[in-house]
Homo-oligomer: A and B are copies of this chain.
């Protein structure tokens, strides 16, 4: 049984990060191409939180940034790349050269991670699935084990449930009771929130009523710790119905991240000296027609 649930609290993003993310935490900033919580990750960087264990199926630009800023002790993941562009250069620098410091790696397949989040949401200690057959990750990752079906004798792969200390996601809307609506490509965000001890949701807007389809992906307010209105908070990722993906920014990142000094200069200008309110400007030219 979890601790008694309370209604989501509305607050600023700096407050939400300060109250919910601590150095040493295991944290997921989840998003599957769509709705990636850039604003939250940038706020975590500004607050200088250290020794994080980062979890995500598809670490991309924000994880490159967190790693490059030296905030990450360990990365648990299944595919690390800049979608449609290439490799993550800060991640490579950490893994290949130990800069700015060494990075511990726990690597899975997508199926394993998706099942592990699902098991976390379902309160189970592990997930069983048919996977990793002949795959070498099972040899280098001691957290890949097996269970045997008590009815058929089939051996299945087993991985521990993912249970982050805190999960950050970005969503389209919340209503005034803190109920959150996610639409379109919903990814693994519902599971990532339900699996976590605490959760922070940034949203494009807060509305009186969600007017959601009965079977839409909705997180009730009492499953969320904090809600912050941060328009554009997914940029350069996108928010279905609000603004499109800023592909130019993803392409530009490859060059920015290529060298340590260009990376650090960019982080200073665009993250350390910026604030959550800046995201709204960044997506003004990408807004969807109303």
Contact = CB atoms under 8 A, between A and B. Distances in A.
A149 B160 CA distance: 9
Given A213-B215, A214-B184, A126 B146 contact: no
A129 B125 contact: no
A152 B128 contact: no
Instruction: Specify which of A152, A158, A214 lies most central, judged by the most chain B CB atoms within 10 Å of its CB.
Output: A214
If over half of A's interface residues share one DSSP class (helix, strand or loop), that class is named, otherwise mixed; here it is loop
A147 interface: yes
A92 B14 CA distance: 63
A219 interface: no
A194 to B, nearest CB: 15
Interface in A124-144: 124-126, 128-130, 143
B126 A130 contact: no
A150 B156 contact: no
B152 A125 contact: yes
A1 to B, nearest CB: 12
B154 A150 contact: no
A214 B154 CA distance: 36
A188 to B, nearest CB: 14
Interface string A150-184: 11101010101000000000000000000000011
Interface size class of A (residues with CB under 8 A): 20 to 34
A56 B123 CA distance: 25
A217 B126 CA distance: 27
A125 to B, nearest CB: 4
A154 B125 contact: yes
Contacts of A147: 128, 147-150
A126 B149 contact: yes
A186 interface: yes
Nearest to A150: B145
Interface of A: 122-126, 128-130, 143, 145-152, 154, 156, 158, 160, 183-184, 186, 213-217
Given A125-B152, A128-B128, A183-B213, 16 more contacts: A122-B129, A124-B129, A124-B149, A125-B156, A126-B149, A126-B152, A145-B150, A145-B151, A147-B148, A151-B158, A183-B215, A184-B214, A184-B215, A186-B215, A213-B215, A216-B216
29 contacts: A122-B129, A124-B128, A124-B129, A124-B130, A124-B149, A125-B149, A125-B152, A125-B154, A126-B149, A126-B151, A126-B152, A128-B128, A128-B147, A143-B151, A145-B150, A147-B148, A147-B149, A147-B150, A151-B158, A151-B160, A183-B214, A183-B215, A184-B214, A186-B215, A213-B213, A213-B215, A215-B215, A215-B216, A215-B217
